[in-house]
């Protein structure tokens, strides 16, 4: 053996010496004391995890190396098929607790007793992108909640938008094929701005209402903690007396809703592709637990019959002004997953997971979903035993006579694996009193492939949504449509879309046509039924719906040499008093010298912290530091972008860089100049954006 290589081998081996395995009859647990010894999956202690088994130090690797083969084989199979939709997701544990008993409408135990906390696991997701895609494409967000109730698991698998693109599940594969990366070229990743998606939409007017939502600020959430959630489909609630009502489920974020602008989304995607995942994780780690209130819209059969639209049509919503929301309880997300794969990736949601007291409607989209999710878990997780994975397992006792299948973790005892049986009196039996009872709904009809006429109006609610928006929100929608259609190569598709927009709102159609340079080129769309004028619903807006707050938001404080440390301390205190976070940014991550010459620590470096990552910003500098910032393009862009994105901006000694960036106007506060400068800055920051500055 070559001497040099032998020496190398021994050096590495000696580093492991204290983790050596059993000697002289000791088990490896005994040998290690409190140290965990590395073993194979068969429990055999490993003596060397640095080198594979070779014929000589430089010789070929031997097939006999069962330790190498076990490790590599396991690694080779680490990935499982990603979800066909909603592949990119972030999860959290928490609990749900009702404010009051909802017994009068549902017998579901977890909604009946205000003293009961039900554990939950939540997974937020984007729809179109792969598991490794960025957090901020323009996309719908999934909002799926698994309630581990004492009567079994209940999954509320919703989105952050209350309506859906299609009415019948048979169109789902077409919709998803059209929005995902194109079949031949494999792009774009996680984006709807391409020909196949808009081709599909232009041919499927039922998607237009959802398109209005998708082009609104709802699809660019500032944080997963600041989104509303919706069950989308109509479900039923059933009480002890067997009375059933229809219900729409809503989630309301305690922090209110916030969105980023498209320009911010594009820049954040580069600066921090994990923006949402990080934000959720950090908030929970910091003890700022995200909270959401669950609310119901309950309708009896008569209200449903009288409603202008069919409650079985998932492309329609019921405005809060028509059926008010009843707030039912609160969900608190207070624990991050211990392991991303084991929990967030392996969690399996199915709308068919319901508990007594909750039942389905005949919504044809929901009916298809009841099949699809169970089916997809079989392909993703590979076995009908996916319910045994800890994140999926009920937390109440469960027992039946289903047996075997891949990855069976349980060891059932006895001979009785069928029912009825007389040989095991303790074997599980059905229970008429506790068991799930399907609501008896009389059905009649002819077997047909048909879309009900009551589903035919595709334009009225699309128009209502657009007309309900504030002017700022309408502008964002116009721009989104112009951007998305601008990325469509085939002019015919753009022209068809312009025709639909003309029906939804002629002004919207005109503006988008102008912006595309296609005035007068729309292909007329002819609705099958005339649309109706609906009153606007202000509850559909994001701007102004929730009280202004800085709670849960992040303020970026850029420090340059010579800054006034007292101002910094007062500012940080004021930010924290709002239950917001102050992020200290330095031109160098190693720290920045304050005015007294003391080096102060910072959280992050300017070149990795553009102002798009923050809800408001401040720049604190001494004379030298201010001068240096004027020469630093990152600092100038930091301020310019904050101005462009209508953020509250605070300045202390940073006059030159502010001048260089041409930063002035409402919401730009000089701490030295203004009386109560810091509180003025905070006041503007609470408002989210200084809309008055929107010159556009």
For 572, residues 6+ apart whose C-beta sits below 8 A from its C-beta are 557, 582, 584
Is 239 part of the annotated catalytic residue set?
A: no
The reply on whether position 159 binds ligand HDD by CB under 6 A is yes
86 binds ligand HDD (CB under 6 A): yes
Burial tier of 224 (Cβ tally within 10 Å: 0-12, 13-18, 19+): buried
The span of 304-312, 327-335, 369-377, 503-511 binding ligand HDD (CB under 6 A) equals 369-377
Taking CB under 6 A as the binding criterion, the range among 365-373, 490-498, 619-627, 640-648 that sits at the site for ligand HDD is 365-373
Choose which of 19, 85, 212, 512 interacts with ligand HDD (CB under 6 A). 85
Pick between residue 233 and residue 261 the one whose CB is nearest to ligand HDD: 233
Asked if 142 is part of the footprint of ligand HDD (rule: CB under 6 A), the reply reads yes
- Which tokens sit at 125? 């997701």
Q: Tell whether residue 372 is a contact of ligand HDD (CB under 6 A).
A: yes
d(CA 207, CA 175): 10
Among candidate residues 109, 153, 159, 160, the one labeled active-site is 159
Is the Cβ of residue 133 or residue 669 nearer to ligand HDD in the bound state? 133
Q: Give the range of 158-166, 263-271, 562-570, 628-636 binding ligand HDD by CB under 6 A.
A: 158-166
Between CA 513 and CA 293 the distance in angstroms is 41
Of 28, 86, 209, 476, which residue is the catalytic one? 86
CA atoms within 13 A on the CB side of 282: 13
Helices (H), 327-363: none
173 sits in which H/E element: helix 172-179
Interaction of residue 123 with ligand HDD, rule CB under 6 A: yes
Question: What's the closest the beta carbon of residue 66 comes to ligand HDD, in angstroms?
Answer: 36
The C-alpha atoms of residue 664 and residue 391 are separated, in whole angstroms, by: 52
Residue 89 interacting with ligand HDD (CB under 6 A): yes
For 696, residues 6+ apart whose C-beta sits below 8 A from its C-beta are 475
Q: With respect to ligand HDD, which residue has the nearer C-beta, 172 or 213?
A: 172
Catalytic-residue membership of 209: no
Element (H, E) at 637: helix 633-644
**By the rule CB under 6 A, 160 interacts with ligand HDD:** no
| Residue 352 near ligand HDD by CB under 6 A | no
| Omega of the bond leading into 188 within 30 degrees of 0 (cis) | yes
Mark the segment that binds ligand HDD (CB under 6 A) among 50-58, 164-172, 279-287, 570-578.
164-172
Nearer to ligand HDD, 159 or 593 (CB): 159
From 77-85, 187-195, 234-242, 468-476, give the range in contact with ligand HDD by CB under 6 A: 77-85
Q: How many residues bind ligand HDD (CB under 6 A)?
A: 26
Residue at token pair 């330790």: 67
What is the Cα gyration radius of the chain?
Answer: 29
Considering only 128, 169, 238, 580, the residue that binds ligand HDD (CB under 6 A) is 169
Taking Cα atoms as reference points, which of 322, 301, 275, 347 lies closest to residue 120?
Answer: 347
Q: Which of 338, 332, 427, 351 is nearest to 390 (CA)?
A: 338
Choice between 248 and 553, CB closer to ligand HDD:
248
- Candidates 211, 227, 314, 602: give the one binding ligand HDD (CB under 6 A): 314
Quick one: which of 3, 39, 5, 4 has its CA closest to 21?
39
User: Does 364 help bind ligand HDD (rule: CB under 6 A)?
Assistant: no
Among 289, 340, 373, 546, binds ligand HDD (CB under 6 A): 373
* β strands within 336-412, DSSP E: 358-360
* 508 in contact with ligand HDD (CB under 6 A): no
Please give the Cα distance from 542 to 549 (Å, whole number): 14
Nearer to ligand HDD, 85 or 513 (CB): 85
Beta-carbon count within 10 A of 197 CB: 26
HSE-up (13 A, CA, CB side) for residue 382: 10
Q: CA-CA distance, 624 to 653, in Å (whole number)?
A: 10
Stretch of 285-293, 370-378, 395-403, 504-512 lying at the interface with ligand HDD (CB under 6 A): 370-378
Q: Which two tokens stand for residue 356?
A: 């007594």
Q: Is 251 in the site for ligand HDD (CB under 6 A)?
A: no
Is 232 an interacting residue with respect to ligand HDD (CB under 6 A)? yes
Helix or strand holding residue 2 (H, E): none
The CB-nearest residue to ligand HDD is 142
| Residue 251: CB minimum distance to ligand HDD, A | 12
User: How many other CB atoms are there within 10 angstroms of residue 376's CB atom?
Assistant: 17
Q: Contact at 8 Å (CB) between 461 and 209?
A: yes
- Residue 233 as a binder of ligand HDD (CB under 6 A): the answer is yes
By CB under 6 A, tell whether 383 contacts ligand HDD: no
The single-letter DSSP state of residue 161 is S
Q: Which residues are identified as catalytic?
A: 86, 159
Q: Which residues bind ligand HDD (CB under 6 A)?
A: 83-86, 89, 123, 125, 142, 144, 157-159, 164, 169, 172, 232-233, 314, 347, 349, 365, 368-369, 372-373, 376
């Amino acid at each position: 053996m070559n001497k040099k290589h032998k020496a190398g081998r021994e050096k590495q081996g000696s580093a492991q010496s204290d983790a050596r395995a059993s000697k002289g009859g000791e088990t490896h647990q005994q040998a290690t004391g409190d140290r965990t010894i590395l073993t194979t999956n068969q429990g055999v202690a490993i003596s060397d995890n640095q080198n594979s088994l070779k014929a000589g130090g430089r010789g070929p690797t031997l097939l006999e190396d069962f330790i190498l083969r076990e490790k590599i084989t396991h690694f080779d199979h680490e990935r499982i098929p990603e979800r066909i939709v909603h592949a990119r997701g972030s999860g959290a544990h928490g609990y749900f607790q009702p404010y009051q008993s909802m017994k009068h409408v549902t017998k579901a135990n977890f909604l009946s007793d205000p003293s009961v906390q039900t554990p939950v696991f939540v997974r937020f997701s984007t729809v179109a992108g792969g598991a490794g895609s960025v957090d901020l494409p323009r996309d719908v967000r999934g909002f799926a909640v698994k309630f581990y109730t004492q009567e079994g698991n209940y999954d509320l698998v919703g989105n952050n938008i209350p309506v859906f693109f299609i009415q019948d599940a048979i169109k789902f594969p077409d919709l998803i094929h059209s929005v995902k990366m194109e079949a031949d070229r494999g792009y774009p990743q996680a984006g709807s701005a391409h020909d196949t998606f808009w081709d599909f939409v232009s041919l499927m007017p039922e998607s237009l209402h959802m398109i209005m939502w998708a082009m609104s600020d709802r699809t660019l959430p500032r944080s997963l903690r600041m989104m509303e959630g919706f069950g989308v489909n109509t479900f039923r609630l059933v009480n002890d007396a067997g009375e059933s009502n229809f219900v729409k489920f809503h989630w309301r974020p305690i922090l209110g809703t916030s969105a980023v602008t498209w320009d911010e989304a594009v820049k954040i995607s580069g600066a921090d592709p994990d923006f949402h995942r990080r934000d959720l994780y950090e908030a929970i780690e910091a003890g700022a637990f995200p909270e959401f209130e669950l609310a119901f819209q309950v309708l009896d059969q008569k209200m449903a019959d009288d409603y202008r639209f069919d409650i079985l049509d998932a492309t329609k919503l019921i405005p809060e002004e028509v059926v008010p929301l009843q707030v039912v309880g609160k969900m608190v997300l207070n624990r991050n997953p211990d392991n991303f794969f084991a929990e967030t990736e392996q969690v399996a949601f199915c709308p068919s997971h319901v508990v007594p007291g909750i039942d389905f409607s005949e919504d044809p989209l929901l009916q298809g979903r009841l099949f699809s999710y169970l089916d997809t878990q079989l392909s993703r997780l590979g076995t009908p035993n996916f319910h045994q994975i800890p994140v999926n397992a009920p937390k109440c006792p469960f027992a039946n006579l289903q047996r075997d299948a891949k990855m069976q973790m349980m060891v059932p005892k006895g001979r009785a694996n069928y029912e009825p049986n007389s040989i095991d009196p303790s074997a599980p039996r059905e229970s008429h009193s506790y068991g799930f009872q399907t609501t008896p709904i009389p059905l009649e009809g002819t077997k047909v492939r048909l879309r009900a006429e009551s589903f035919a109006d595709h334009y009225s609610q699309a128009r209502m949504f657009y007309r309900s928006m504030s002017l700022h929100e309408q502008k964002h929608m116009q721009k989104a449509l112009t951007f998305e259609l601008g990325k469509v190569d085939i002019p015919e598709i753009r022209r068809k879309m312009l025709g639909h927009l003309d029906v939804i709102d002629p002004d919207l159609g005109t503006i988008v046509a102008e912006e595309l340079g296609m005035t007068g080129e729309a292909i007329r769309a002819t609705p099958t039924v005339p649309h109706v004028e609906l009153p606007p619903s202000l509850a559909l807006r994001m701007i102004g719906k929730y009280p202004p707050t800085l709670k849960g938001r992040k303020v970026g404080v850029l420090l340059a040499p010579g800054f006034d440390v007292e101002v910094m301390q007062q500012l940080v205190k004021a930010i924290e008093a709002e239950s917001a976070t102050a992020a200290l940014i330095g031109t160098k991550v190693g720290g920045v010298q304050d005015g007294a010459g003391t080096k102060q620590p910072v959280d992050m470096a300017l070149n990795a912290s553009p102002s798009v990552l923050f809800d408001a910003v401040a720049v604190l500098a001494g004379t030298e530091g201010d001068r240096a910032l004027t020469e630093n393009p990152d600092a100038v862009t930091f301020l310019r972008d904050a101005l462009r994105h209508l953020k509250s901006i605070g300045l202390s000694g940073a006059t030159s860089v502010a001048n260089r960036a041409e930063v002035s106007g409402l919401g730009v506060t000089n701490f030295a100049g203004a009386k109560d400068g810091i509180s003025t800055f905070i006041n503007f920051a609470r408002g989210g954006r200084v809309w008055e500055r929107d010159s556009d």
